Structure 1
């Protein structure tokens, strides 16, 4: 079993900085933005992007968490998945540009679940997707707007994002 590191701490920081600049550019500034991270590792990434957006623009951008557990279409195969808290920032998402943040985009099923969850919360003006790693192999017509790293991979390879806030270490690895 071989594992190689494809992103180190500095690479992750650089990718998040680039994503933050791209978000601000595409939105023409921070007005009306809400950043929602998909737990587990999407939420710390969303918090970091929120901090970077505030640092770059001088304006605080609301950040929250959107749990998609109960909206997943694979609960029958993995019923022990524990729901995480959903935390929608004050002011909600109605009429806002929501940027969903996840660590790895693979089949697109988590994002489909997130879109379903958003419908129960409100009606955003637009939804954008930011992901640290896009590894391809989509099963649904979902494409990220902002990507830290495109990482072509075999279907049987495993991409692991480990973040300081969750895992105590900062890296992205790929292995079989």
Structure 2
């Protein structure tokens, strides 16, 4: 892979997440009934960062949970039938029924990850709404899914790869475009 461009550095990522936090609060008229659901892996630290931003703005800690969608994916060649798909909840055991669920992920591409996440959430309860916040929307949807909150739109070709690096996982914050070879 060849690096083509850095599209977000740490400061730009911080500004984008602050803007998304404000947009979430504005659209939902505050924090009442909100729950942030981070899609594993990189959606989880992004959700926690949004939680921190919202707490700085509103003074309220919005519940945040971690969602593992592995067993809901449609691209698995084999799923162990003995394992029940589970919503993987860390820190807060929160009911989703009646809540405004904000799904959080790093990159929106085909829409298949979001579809799997919505299936997982619906198996856990009946939220009043499901909204989607992503750091990067790169286009190329295969399903009719759109993000409600977007950090940055980055039109890409199918041969390009968006790599999101987060300090919590990768020891640095950046979003880069790579060309596959």
Please state which band the TM-score falls in when normalised by the shorter chain: over 0.9
Deviations 1:118-140 (A, max 9, x none): 11111100000000000000000
Find the counterpart in structure 2 of residue 73 from structure 1.
Answer: 74
Deviations 1:56-86 (A, max 9, x none): 011110011111110000011899xxx9971
Matched, 1:19 2:20: yes
CA RMSD of aligned residues (A): 1.9
Find the counterpart in structure 1 of residue 159 from structure 2.
Answer: 156
Find the counterpart in structure 2 of residue 132 from structure 1.
Answer: 135
Cα deviation for residue 90 of structure 1 reads 2.9
Out of 115, 134, 142, the position equivalent to 1:112 is: 115
Structure 1 distance, partners of 2:86, 2:105, is: 14
Verify the 8 A CA contact 1:16 1:132 in the aligned structure 2. yes
Find the counterpart in structure 2 of residue 4 from structure 1.
Answer: 5
Matched, 1:60 2:61: yes
Structure 1 distance, partners of 2:49, 2:169, is: 13
Structure 1 distance, partners of 2:136, 2:78, is: 25
Find the counterpart in structure 2 of residue 94 from structure 1.
Answer: 97
Q: Unaligned regions of 5+ residues in structure 1, if any?
A: none
Structure 1 distance, partners of 2:56, 2:105, is: 21
Verify the 8 A CA contact 2:20 2:149 in the aligned structure 1. yes
Superposition TM-score, scaled by structure 1 size: 0.93
Find the counterpart in structure 2 of residue 165 from structure 1.
Answer: 168
Superposition TM-score, scaled by structure 2 size: 0.91
Q: Unaligned regions of 5+ residues in structure 2, if any?
A: none
Secondary structure in 2 matching 1:37: strand
Alpha-carbon distance change, 4 to 66 in structure 1, aligned in 2, over 3 angstroms? same
